[in-house]
Amino acid sequence: MSNKLDTGVKNVRNVLRYTIGNGAVNELPKLINYHRENNNKIIFFLDDFFYESHNIHDLIGAQKNDEIIFISTLEEPSTEYIDKLIEYLHEKNYYNPSAIVGMGGGITMDVAKAVSNLLTNGGKAEDYQGWDLLKKPGIFKIAIPTISGTGAEATRTCVMINPKTGIKLGMNSDFTVYDQLILDPGLTKTVPRDQYFYTGMDAFIHCIESLNGSYRNEIGDAYSNQTISLCRDVFMSDDMMSDENRSKMMVASYLGGCAIATSYVGVLHPFSAGLSVVLGIHHCLANCISMRAMEEFYPLEYEEFWKMANIQKVEIPKGVCSDLSSKQYEQLYQSTIVHEKPLINALGETFKNALTKEKVIQLFRKM
């Protein structure tokens, strides 16, 4: 391990329990009823995809006094949005529900994690953007991913954009980790093909950045290597959305989340964060767009990414940063360079020497 540095993560926490397989979502009513105390309430955060679903109440086992909140995925969650949700729940006297369920993609699962944390810790969402700032465990929470790749079901963070500071950062804490997962590949069958690819690539990118970084350990490396192997199986195949491949992708997403929980990302994710903060591009798509500028940092993985995109006939937008104002380029630089931990992981303590403002803008122009 002579080329590896201590991650600083000394006592890793993973999800306590999970159930996996087609139809696993049918276990949800039994699981949440086990946690109901004195007829206490359950809060459900559901991707707004389910808004028109007529049988959603039966599927999730919702009861009369439970609260169902549909989460829009048009924009990534902000600290202000989380604060408004907390205010709404307090107005309805939801201070200590028996459980919180997050069913959807990374946005919905992150919202559920953030609300769980704030209901017990108090304060504002921005108070806990950073590492290990939470003081108390959150409300018991269950994740049900309906798309695979972000690893939000497994990570110790929930990412939010702070519109006041322009920082995209999560509540990185053991208390953010889900208590229970339900991994049902059947739920990913209706995902649009391009979105399936963009989101799946998040798992691949997490792990190539981790393996190319300095802050690593053997378990994180093992998670990363297995995730990459599964992604290759899926995205080098003729049908990335076959039943078998959707099952593999769901496992890859979970393992990729476990990998990044014990290591760090690298150069690409800070650039992706800049695209999200300044241009409002969703995280997974922003990752894929950022790959256009990553050849010098990850040459082999760069080539492999574009090979997979070509095999799956998925278009990656280009030119999104070709005609921006000086102010926007300045904002992109500031929103990227602020992510010190991943940039140190990839480039060392002197990363700012390599990523001057001119260099960062040059890289964004490639996108």
CB 178 within 8 Å of CB 113: yes
Any idea which architecture 17-188 has in CATH?
Answer: 3-Layer(aba) Sandwich (3.40)
As a whole number, mean pLDDT of residues 338-360 equals 96
The pLDDT value recorded for residue 183 is 98
Give me the phi and psi of 159, to 5 degrees please: -85, 135
The predicted-structure confidence for 272-319, as pLDDT tens digits, reads as follows 999 999 999 999 999 999 999 999 999 999 999 999 999 999 999 999
CB 141 within 8 Å of CB 99: yes
Evaluate if residue 213 carries a pLDDT over 80.
yes
- Strand bridging mode 167-172 / 159-162: antiparallel
Instruction: Tell me yes or no: is domain 193-365 CATH 1.10.240.10.
Output: no
Residue 266 pLDDT level (bands cut at 50, 70, 90): very high
Question: In a 10 Å sphere around its CB, with 0-12 CB exposed, 13-18 middle and 19+ buried, how is residue 350 labelled?
Answer: exposed
Evaluate if residue 1 carries a pLDDT over 60.
no
**Please, which residues bridge with residue 141 across strands?**
100
* Greater pLDDT, 33 or 243: 243
Q: How far apart are CA 277 and CA 290, in angstroms?
A: 14
Q: Enter the tokens of residue 318.
A: 């280009």
Q: Which long-range contacts (CB under 8 A, 24 or more apart) does 63-69 make?
A: 65/39, 65/41, 66/41, 66/42, 67/41, 67/42, 67/43, 67/92, 67/94, 67/97, 68/44, 69/43, 69/44, 69/45
As a whole number, mean pLDDT of residues 17-46 equals 92
As a whole number, mean pLDDT of residues 7-32 equals 89
As a whole number, mean pLDDT of residues 205-218 equals 94
Evaluate if residue 340 carries a pLDDT over 70.
yes
Task: Give the domain ranges of the chain.
Answer: 17-188, 193-365
Give me the phi and psi of 46, to 5 degrees please: -120, 135
Q: Amino acid letter at 171?
A: M
Evaluate if residue 4 carries a pLDDT over 90.
no
Residue 185 pLDDT level (bands cut at 50, 70, 90): very high
The predicted-structure confidence for 322-338, as pLDDT tens digits, reads as follows 989 999 999 999 999 99
As a whole number, mean pLDDT of residues 173-177 equals 95
Q: What is the CA radius of gyration of the chain?
A: 20
Residue 10 pLDDT level (bands cut at 50, 70, 90): low
Evaluate if residue 352 carries a pLDDT over 50.
yes
Q: How far apart are CA 115 and CA 139, in angstroms?
A: 9
Domains 17-188 and 193-365 share a fold: no
CA-based nearest residue to 339, from 131, 136, 137: 131
Cα–chain center distance at 228: 17
DSSP secondary structure letters along 284-338:
HHHHHHHGGG-TTTSHHHHHHHHHHHHHTT------TTTT--HHHHHHHHHHHHT
Q: How far apart are CA 271 and CA 363, in angstroms?
A: 9
**Please, which residues bridge with residue 170 across strands?**
159
